[in-house]
Amino acid sequence: MTDDKKQTRITRSLVRPALGALSGLLAGFAALAVAELVAAGVRPQAGPVIAVGGAAIDRTPTPVKDWAIRNFGTNDKLVLQLGILAALVLFAIALGVFALRYRRTGAAGVLLFGVVGAAAALSRPDSTGLTDALPSVVGAVVAAALLYFLIGRLQIRGQAPDDTGSARDDSSRGEGWDRRGFVILATAAAAASAGTGLLGRALSGSKSREAAASRADVVLPAPASPADAIPKGAQLRIRDVSPFTTPNKDFYRVDTALVVPKVDATTWKLRIHGKGVTRPVTLTFDDLLRRELIERDITLTCVSNEVGGPYVGNARWIGVRLADLLAECGVKPPSKGGRADQLVARSVDGMTIGSPVEDVMDGRDALLAVGMNGEPLPFVHGFPVRMLVPGLFGYVSACKWIQDIELTSFDDYDAYWVKRDWARQAPIKTQSRIDTPKPFARPKAGSVMVAGVAWAQHRGIDKVEVRVDDGPWQEARLAAEDSRDTWRQWSYDWRATEGGHTLTVRATDRTGTVQTEKRTGTVPDGASGRHSVVVTVE
């Protein structure tokens, strides 16, 4: 064999597998692009990446979810989507190389992509029916056909065309694969896929723009019951302490929605029905705005918040009293003979959240909120309407993008998180956090300001104490209290001495309950323990 022929064989052995991998990638790209276009006509949540990601979240064990939130924070959804895309890339490359030898089987393997995506879409709690399977199915069929034809251009003339794996290479006769045909088809496929994907994005974007326009048109009425002015002294002028009112852009977000629902307020409706509801009702957004609105400062806390964690924030909310709406529908709390003890709120993304009817109707300011910090709710925080109940962790009270309220019982129905090992009822625990100094800080000896926030929503904070190392508890100075439904800032002027020290904080609520030192994880009803930081004084 001449050197030229050897070089040709070596080149072919390297180039064809690489082009097979490229064929797989192009087929995968086409599948996603076509699926996105079809999803624009169905609904964005039916797209394969979103559907598979949502199904993965639903089936992920609670400890793994907790780990993801703890390590990735609000980027957990992005990490999941990148992981899914990475898996698809590897799957596509493997199929492309495999199809060089088994062309038909490799092309048929792409259909597995469609089956998984369709099954995931149909399994979602917000599935609207068989149409949700269309994006994945259509995308997979197009990709399978593309891979088949691309691999066809890579077939060496004289090679057996079947899938037996016993192909004979007759390239010694000088016959090769269709280079020109492959380049033309691959280029056309890439361009068509890019155009298809952009068209799908544009169509989906038009719906988002309609929702954004409906939000821009909202003018929040003046509340009939405005919030009191924040007391002077509620905001301590200490660097690095969390602001009393958390700006919307900084407010924590923890939910399972891979795509933030963009709901058009002009078409939104809320249905209230179920056990003990004698007068079911369906309300529009304008119906809510015409009702008596109240404005309140309320601190929200996520049950996934570790001791000293960031998933707590305070905002000024405006909305309709939920208890009044329920009463008009004939609902009574169990203590007054009501038939239902659980209120199940359903979101447009399929999330279900169960709240105790007794707590919702006991006089606290449970709201169907339409505004946050003086503006309509941001989309990420539930526009057009969300629910919140002071004193309860968000997973049993704070349904975003709400569209349905059903009155039922805890015996008859388990909401989303309860099915995943979380407690049915979860009042917020008494907690405190050191905001400054930060862990491993190196302050100078002398006066060091230790400060932070404490919360015990719907009970209020009565006292905060700080301990240095194993010394006695020293009472901190409390900032002015806004209400028992908001957090409270505190500070302690520490006379720091050189060396390593551990600072620990504990709070006492208005019932006399002292923050426990027993450390527990977030499952099943929120973390407990005392926050501490280690510093080195120089």
Do 338 and 396 lie in a common domain?
A: yes
Over residues 340-353, mean pLDDT: 96
List all residues 6 or more positions away from 363 whose beta carbon is below 8 Å from its beta carbon.
323
Over residues 303-331, mean pLDDT: 97
Do 134 and 253 lie in a common domain?
A: no
Do 13 and 150 lie in a common domain?
A: yes
Over residues 69-75, mean pLDDT: 75
CATH of the domain at 437: 2.60.40.650
Task: Supply the pLDDT for residue 173.
Answer: 40
The mean-pLDDT minimum among 122-131, 209-218, 362-371, 459-468 falls in: 122-131
pLDDT at 317 over 80: yes
* Integer angstrom CA distances of residue 275 from 272, 345, 402, 409, 530: 10, 14, 19, 8, 41
- The number of folded domains in the chain is 3
Amino acid at 179: R
Residue 218 lies in a domain: no
How many alpha carbons fall within 13 Å on the CB side of residue 61? Answer: 3
Do 17 and 73 lie in a common domain?
A: yes
Using a 10 angstrom Cβ sphere, with 0-12 exposed, 13-18 middle and 19 or more buried, the burial of residue 422 is: buried
Task: Supply the pLDDT for residue 58.
Answer: 83
Do 289 and 154 lie in a common domain?
A: no
Higher-scoring residue by pLDDT: 52, 77: 52
Predicted confidence band of residue 174 (pLDDT cuts 50, 70, 90): very low
* Residues forming a β-bridge with 356: 342
Instruction: Quote the strand ranges of 375-525, DSSP E.
Output: 375-376, 386-388, 402-408, 431-436, 446-455, 461-468, 474-475, 477-478, 488-496, 499-509
Do 447 and 494 lie in a common domain?
A: yes
Domain extent, residue 493, equals: 431-537
Residue 381 lies in a domain: yes
Do 48 and 194 lie in a common domain?
A: yes
Do 191 and 282 lie in a common domain?
A: no
Residue 219 CA to residue 232 CA, distance in Å, equals: 29
Residue 297 CA to residue 315 CA, distance in Å, equals: 6
Residue 235 lies in a domain: no
Task: Supply the pLDDT for residue 167.
Answer: 43
**N-term to C-term CA, the chain:** 77
Residue 227 lies in a domain: no
Long-range contacts of 248-251 (CB under 8 A, 24+ apart): 248/315, 248/372, 248/373, 248/375, 248/378, 248/381, 250/313, 251/313, 251/315, 251/372, 251/381
Residue 233 lies in a domain: no
Do 120 and 168 lie in a common domain?
A: yes
Residue 425 lies in a domain: no
pLDDT at 177 over 90: no
Residue 6 CA to residue 481 CA, distance in Å, equals: 84
Instruction: Quote the strand ranges of 181-301, DSSP E.
Output: 269-274, 281-284, 294-301
Task: Supply the pLDDT for residue 9.
Answer: 58
Do 414 and 445 lie in a common domain?
A: no
Residue 369 lies in a domain: yes
Kindly report the pTM of this predicted structure: 0.85
Give the pLDDT confidence of 418-472 residue by residue, as tens digits: 998 899 999 999 999 999 999 999 999 999 999 999 999 999 999 999 999 999 9
Do 267 and 398 lie in a common domain?
A: yes
> Three-state SS for 307?
coil
